[in-house]
């Protein structure tokens, strides 16, 4: 369906009327923190729309879910309320709808330039689970670590994951302090405690779930997508030397939990529906609880860009796509809850590093530099095996429609000593 808005939105803007991502903001001029949606270069104040009565006749009218410092209360309402809100907001922004278009005084109060607001963590994140859903990534990592069969025998049968740390998830723009930690020093044949020498990024997509399930009640795969509120860019910063020394036998710990960054705008799953594409064929077929009648994924272009202190602009160092992922978000939710584990509104799940089939589509430096053995070349003659202090790493992603985009904005972190 063709949609047009009365607001100016450039074709390359990530925030078209087809997108309408949710975020949490405070005007720089002051006032309470509240929920808004981004459109073009503007933020639409949903708390004001709610107070003005635009959500009358819905559950959104009785609850002040948009006058909150996070999206948790809104997420907890579930998919019916999310869809209702989205329809109302999208309709208000249509070019042919005079309600908001011709109400000049309301428009002046309801819209804020993005440059005139401060964005906050969109969700108070209760728990964080990180998957390992890219076959290319898992195979490459296995090969780099010298395994004869790069994929472990369980990998093709279940979406592998570990429980991460919610406390150290930070917003776009938060500087990333190079962590210190214990790692094995091959020259001394002994462990040392020192700043990591192998600081890496991981290009991932995170997704917020809600309202969740009760303990002991698995979410069947056919109901799993109803539990996905929206998606963000996620950078799972990793210290490879710390990780390599500590991970056996229980998996990632301090090599991962010093920082994870997310982008501020949560793209509703509903906005991705026009970009559905068939999911990769799974061979061998997974067990029945991981099988779905309709298997699709989403065509989301993803990029990682690097800017060193010697560079004036960032250059792409990886171009990949969400559609390469072997395990779908629905499979991840179905597997996560298959033992009765309960997910809650505000939980964050992440896909794991998203790597593609070609060398330049790997989603982290561990792969791009093949374990540090083949540093990548940058304009100006610099090379990188891993990140250095002063490096600025940016993730971005978008779906390309005909003359419009549904995008995630960007997610940047500056490495500091």
By CB under 5 A, name the binding residues for Mn ion: 130, 202, 236, 352
Q: Residue 46 or residue 234: which is nearer to Mn ion going by CB?
A: 234
Could you count the other beta carbons within 10 Å of the beta carbon of residue 37? 25
How far apart (Å, rounded) are the C-alpha atoms in residues 101 and 104?
7
Q: Establish whether the linkage from the previous residue to 284 is cis, with ω within 30° of 0.
A: yes
Write down the least CB distance from residue 164 to Mn ion, Å: 8
Q: What are phi and psi of 408, to 5 degrees?
A: -105, 0
CB of 334 to Mn ion, least distance (A): 20
**Residue whose CB is less far from Mn ion, 66 or 408:** 408
Residue nearest to Mn ion (CB): 236
Q: What are phi and psi of 333, to 5 degrees?
A: -70, -45
163 catalytic residue (yes or no): no
User: How crowded is residue 318: how many other Cβ atoms within 10 Å of its Cβ?
Assistant: 26
| Shortest distance, position 136 Cβ to Mn ion, whole Å | 14
Residue 164, phi then psi, degrees to nearest 5: -95, -165
DSSP assignments along 8-43, one per residue:
---TT-SB-TTT--EEEEEETT----EEEEEETTEE
Mapping DSSP to helix (H, G, I), strand (E, B) and coil, where does residue 410 land? strand
- C-alpha neighbours within 13 Å on the C-beta side of residue 373: 7
- Cβ proximity to Mn ion: between 45 and 130 the closer is 130
The smaller minimum CB distance to Mn ion, of residues 45 and 204, is found at 204
Measured from the CB atom, the residue of 141 and 219 that comes closer to Mn ion is 141
Least Å from the CB of residue 137 to Mn ion: 9
What minimum distance in Å lies between the beta carbon of 191 and Mn ion? Answer: 24
Catalytic residue among 137, 163, 335, 336: 137
Q: Are 183 and 196 in contact (CB under 8 A)?
A: yes
Q: Which is nearer to Mn ion, 202 or 241 (CB)?
A: 202
Q: How far is the CB of 252 from Mn ion (least distance, A)?
A: 8
In sequence order, the β-bridge partners of residue 267 are: 231
Element at 396 (helix H, strand E): strand 392-400
Token duo for residue 204: 């991932």
> What span, in angstroms and rounded, lies between the C-alpha atoms of 205 and 301?
11
- 3-state DSSP assignment of residue 348: strand
Known catalytic residues are: 137
């Amino acid at each position: 369906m063709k949609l047009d808005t009365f607001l100016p939105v450039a074709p390359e803007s990530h925030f078209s009327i087809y997108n309408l991502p949710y975020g949490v903001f405070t005007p720089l001029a002051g006032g309470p923190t509240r929920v808004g949606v981004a459109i073009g270069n503007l933020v639409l104040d949903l708390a004001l729309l709610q107070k003005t009565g635009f959500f009358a006749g819905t559950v959104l009218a009785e609850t002040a879910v948009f006058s909150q410092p996070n999206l948790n209360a809104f997420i907890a309402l579930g998919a019916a309320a999310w869809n209702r809100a989205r329809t109302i907001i999208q309709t208000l922004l249509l070019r042919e709808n005079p309600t908001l278009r011709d109400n000049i005084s309301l428009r002046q109060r309801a819209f804020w330039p993005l440059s005139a607001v401060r964005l906050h963590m969109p969700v108070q994140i209760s728990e964080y689970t990180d998957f390992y859903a890219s076959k290319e990534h898992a195979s490459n990592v296995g090969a780099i670590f010298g395994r004869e069969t790069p994929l472990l025998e369980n990998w093709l049968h279940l979406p592998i994951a570990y429980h991460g740390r919610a406390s150290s998830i930070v917003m776009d723009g938060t500087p990333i302090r190079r962590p210190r930690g214990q790692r094995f020093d091959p020259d001394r044949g002994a462990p040392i405690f020192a700043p990591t020498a192998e600081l890496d990024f991981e290009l991932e997509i995170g997704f917020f779930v809600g309202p969740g399930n009760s303990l002991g009640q698995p979410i069947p795969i056919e109901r799993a997508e109803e539990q996905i509120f929206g998606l963000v860019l996620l950078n799972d910063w990793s210290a490879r030397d710390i990780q390599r020394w500590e991970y056996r036998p229980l998996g990632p710990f301090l090599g991962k939990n010093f920082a994870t960054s997310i982008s501020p705008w949560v793209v509703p799953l509903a906005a991705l529906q026009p970009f559905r594409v068939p999911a990769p064929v799974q061979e061998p077929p997974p067990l029945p609880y991981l099988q779905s009648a309709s298997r699709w994924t989403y065509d989301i272009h993803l990029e990682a860009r690097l800017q060193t202190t010697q560079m004036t602009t960032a250059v792409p160092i990886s171009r990949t796509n969400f559609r390469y992922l072997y395990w779908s978000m629905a499979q991840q939710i179905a597997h996560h809850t298959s033992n009765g584990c309960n997910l809650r509104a505000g939980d964050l799940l992440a896909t794991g590093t998203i790597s593609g089939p070609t060398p330049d589509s790997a989603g982290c430096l561990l792969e791009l530099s093949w374990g540090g053995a083949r540093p990548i070349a940058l304009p100006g003659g610099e090379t990188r095996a891993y990140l250095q202090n002063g490096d600025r790493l940016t993730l971005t992603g978008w779906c390309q429609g005909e003359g419009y985009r549904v995008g995630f904005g960007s997610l940047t972190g500056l490495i500091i000593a």
